[in-house]
Amino acid sequence: MQQSHAYNDTSLELTAKILDAKARKNLSFEDLVEGTGLGLAYVTAALLGQHPLPENAANVIGKKLDLDADSVARLQIIPLRGSLSGVPTDPTIYRFYEMIQIYGTTLKALVHEQFGDGIISAINFKLDMKKVEDPEGGHRAVITLDGKFLPLRPF
């Protein structure tokens, strides 16, 4: 039977345990995703407390991190999602906030113009990030947000 968290407290404790084990074993999120059959962004979000893992994936990661049976079981519980409130203070996260502050209304206008009234799902969703060379030197981050459009249904 599927279970669901009602509060973030237990997820935060498990996330701290996971990040500690990941660091002690010098593993990357890519190392952890191997053998799960899931995508890097999904597994990373799950390990940070934002998604449940299927039993098989939870077991694979549990073995890699030497997690106890209780922690492996807790990885499978549907979390209370949402990890931020207010304006973020971490510079990396703040830049995403800044992007939405600047381009949020543009994205909204274009979504509604091209699709109609509705939203882009963050549940039926895919996320990908690639590091690419910048022709002007250095690197660029190419981030793809791929969400299903859900039209407003008048009632």
User: Which residues are designated catalytic?
Assistant: 95, 98, 121
- Write the burial class of residue 17 (CB in 10 Å: 0-12 exposed, 13-18 middle, 19+ buried): middle
SS3 141: strand
Please name the helix (run of DSSP H) or strand (run of DSSP E) that holds residue 118, with its range, or none.
strand 118-133
Token reading at 33: 């995703």
67-71 long-range contacts (CB < 8 A, ≥24 apart) are 67/17, 67/18, 67/21, 71/14, 71/17, 71/18
Whole-angstrom Cα distance, residue 27 to residue 19? 10
